[in-house]
Structure 1
Amino acid sequence: MLDLLKNLLYTDVGSSLNNWALLGFRVLLALELFRVHGLRKFQPQAGEAPEVVPNPLGLPAALNQLVATFADTVVPALVILGVGTRLAVLPTIGVTAIGYFVVHRRDSVAVRDVPYVYTICFLLLLLLGPGTRSVDYYLWTLLSR
């Protein structure tokens, strides 16, 4: 059990500078996701209705909208704080990967690059974790005593 918690919570990318850089990466990535995609779920743009997410997998409409909204609004907050980061990024990776491989598969590279870059960045956070400047790291230090 302790090994599982360590794999989920513990991250140290080597040096203090690397851990601070990872914090900056997390914060900037999450803020941009929330600002560009999360707010559109709630604030209509120029008199439009709130964004409705494509549903290429044929999920129930409410579930599809809930997952996309969670991935664009709640996940960025968890990533910024570094709370459950490795698990938290999974919905966003799913949404962005489906956007890249399914929704935008026939679009130009200029359109496809946005979900591609988000997918790669959140995969990096899945693999590396949030670093030592995170709630996850502090939880691990408390639990491992």
Structure 2
Amino acid sequence: MRKALIAVLFVTVNGALSACVGRLSPSADVMRAADYGPYPSDYKTIIDKYHEARFKDPASVQVQYLSTPQKAWGGLSFYPYFGYVVCLTVTARNSLGGLTESHLTGVFIRDGQVVQYRSANPSIEGTDVGVRDMCKNVLGKFDTPAGSN
């Protein structure tokens, strides 16, 4: 029993520490030297192609853009990757033909490809926090040049 308790405690503490480390920003030097790749001026086409490949009924996908691409980083602070984040809401038909509720979605684009696609889903614990974290510095930025972040 004692070994099981120690194992559970170890996993819990390890998970908590990993979550904290992952949320730290890369150093200022790393951010200045970062290569974000080319600005995705065709981001709507990139996202539309992603939807066509992933959704059962891509014609039903309704998108409302909440930002234009903004410079961002992902991954862990000690091993980050750089690119551009676009935030949007997505509504689509489910398998039964009904429309799903609109979900906040963060799309990370690098070199013309969707690298990460995260959609907040209240039925999956933690996804809301992850998407809000991804979009917190991007929401509402439409006319801000990507180079000024």
Which has the larger share of helix? 1
Instruction: Answer 1 or 2: higher relative contact order, Cα 8 Å, separation at least 6.
Output: 1
Larger radius of gyration: 2
- Give the TM-score, by structure 2 length: 0.27
- Give the TM-score, by structure 1 length: 0.27
Which has the larger share of strand? 2
